[in-house]
Structure 1
Amino acid sequence: MTARDQLSPAAALLGRASGPGEAPSPAWREQPGSPGPLVLRWLREAADAGVAALQAATLATVDEEGAPDARVLVLRDVSPDGAAWSFATDSGSTKGRQLAARPAAALTLHWPEQARQVRVRGEVAAGTRDDAAAEFRTRSPAARIAAHTGHQSEPLASDQAYRQAAEAARRLVAADPDAVPPGHTVYTLHAREVEFWQGAPDRFHQRLHYHRTADGWDARRLWP
């Protein structure tokens, strides 16, 4: 019996050989002075290539005991220099409470179709109510209803309780489409590090790491 024969069903599935996607080449023709131009270029190339869930990002925070926590959310914006990364959530949610206690986070974008990954780390700041209102107006009716349904991360007693809250939210949005939930907050992750990872079928992966300094950005290649 081989070692692979002894793998659990899950380990066997996870261990299947799979290509890292169709890697655009070259990963970067140059190293811009800030990560922003490369972020915008990769976003544009991903959009042109029809990458699914282009805006889906994994946000990692820590809880009151210092244990890591992570979830996928929607990345809303990136500043032209790549220094500010914006997302929105309810301040009363688990991640909202964690950010209030420890305002630092890591954020990851992963586009397997292009074998690309972008990693960001830094401090997080909450925006104003005007910021929240402006962002909320860009949302679809369904997204507004979901936000008004509320109770994010709280225990759910029954499906009926959820349906009733959702119906109340639908009526509220129909009556006042621009009403913003009290806890709706736009957060900005102010990056101190931005890293670009480009996979390759021959596993000659490439990494470009930006570190923010008092004088700007320091860029360097990293070993895969």
Structure 2
Amino acid sequence: MPSRDDDTGGTPGGPPDRAAADRELLARVRAAPVLAGPLPRFDPDTAPDTPGPLFAGWLDRALTDGVREPQIMTLSTAGEDGTPSARVLILRGVDSADCAFVFAGDRGSGKGRDLAARPVAALTWYWPAQGRQIRMAGPVDVLGEDATRQDFLGRSARSRAAAFTGRVSTPLGGAEEYERENRAAEALVAAEPDRVPAGHTVYRLRAGAAEFFQADPARHHLRLRYTREGDRWTRTLLWP
């Protein structure tokens, strides 16, 4: 078997038997614990009439319970030709009254190009320790320059330097090229601490649909969906 320090899939001393390795990997996956608990309870009958406060409550509970990085979410978009794409990023803001969520990125990146072509997206959070999944989907708009500057300049110097390092989503020649570009970016941030990359963009997703999933070790899972209709929301309990 490969060393635990080797995640390339190779086998020392000869070519791997991929079929056997895949079977072994699948066996380990199936043996891994799932929904070990204890998990929090969720009563959909007591859920609020709109999804924003429920999201805020679940996020607050995740933070209180010490869930690691509950602000991390998956953003899913589709390109002009309809090809889907997903990536993990950080939640930058919440408007629980309007069920809207803020995130940022470079408009020249894959997600930026997707959103320019199709300004609609989905967000997903999954917190395994609580067996909770949240899904939001809806139209996306671009916030103004003030929001862009506030978001970017509120980051650490290291984070800002990373944004000036190279060109996002373009080919990288290797570690030396990255280090060279990063040193130049750090010098730029030190010399011009108020500078914001031209492509930095802050986006806002206003959910038109929201879904909350609470897992149960006995597999009596709960799914509650909200659908926005104008200024009103309807709630529907779904089969898991």
- Name the TM-score, length of structure 1 as normaliser: 0.92
> Larger radius of gyration, structure 1 or 2?
2
2:47 corresponds to 1:31: yes
Pair 178,27 (structure 1): closer, same or farther in 2 beyond 3 Å: farther
Show structure 1 runs of 4+ deviating over 3 A: 26-29
Is 1:12 aligned to residue 24 of structure 2? no
Change (3 A) 1:55 1:6: closer
1:63 aligns with 2:79: yes
1:104-124 CA deviation, whole Å, 9 max, x = no partner? 111100100110010011111
Question: What letter is aligned with 1:45?
Answer: R
8 A Cα contact 1:22 1:115, kept in partner: no
Report Cα offsets for 1:30-85 as digits up to 9, x if no partner: 12121111111111100011111111101111123211111101111110225211
Contact 1:109/1:118, CA 8 A, preserved across alignment: yes
Corresponding residue for 1:201? 217
Worse-matched range after superposition: 99-108 or 79-88 = 79-88
State the match for 2:172 in structure 1. Answer: 156
The SS at the match of 2:223 is: strand
Q: Which has the higher contact order (CA 8 A, sep 6+)?
A: 1
CA-atom RMSD in angstroms: 1.8
Matched AA of 1:108:
T
**Partner SS for 1:81:** coil
Distance 1:127 1:40 in 2: 22
Cα distance, 1:155 vs structure 2: 0.4
Q: TM-score, normalised by structure 2?
A: 0.86
Cα deviation per residue 1:166-223 (whole Å; 9 max; x = unaligned)? 1111011112222111100001111100111000110101111110001411112111
1:147 counterpart = 2:163: yes
Residue 105 of structure 2 aligns to a residue whose secondary structure is strand
CA contact (8 A) 1:39 1:82 kept: no
Alignment of 1:65-214 (within 5 A): 65-214=81-230
Bigger Cα displacement from structure 2, 116-125 vs 155-164: 155-164
Does the C-alpha gap of structure 1 residues 82 and 28 become closer, same or farther in structure 2, counting only changes over 3 Å?
farther
Structure 2 gap ranges (5+)? 1-19
The total of aligned residue pairs comes to 220
Evaluate the alpha carbon distance shift between residue 216 and residue 13 of structure 1 in structure 2; reply closer, same or farther with a 3 A threshold: same
Separation in structure 2 between the aligned mates of residue 164 and residue 27 of structure 1, nearest angstrom: 54
TM-aligned CA deviation for residue 139 of structure 1:
1.2
Report if the CA contact (8 A) 1:31-1:219 is conserved: no
Identity of counterpart residues, as a percentage? 45
Task: For residue 42 of structure 2, give the secondary structure of its aligned residue in structure 1.
Answer: coil
Q: Is the 8 A contact 2:141 2:204 kept in 1?
A: yes
Structure 1: any 5+ residue segments left out of the alignment?
none
Q: Is the deviation greater in 94-103 or in 76-85? A: 76-85
Q: CA deviation at 1:6?
A: 11
Any idea what SS the aligned residue of 2:91 has?
A: strand
CA contact (8 A) 1:132 1:186 kept: yes
Distance 1:214 1:11 in 2: 46
State the AA in 2 paired with 1:9: E
Would the aligned equivalents of 2:42 and 2:214 in 1 still touch at CA under 8 Å? no
The aligned amino acid for 2:184 is A
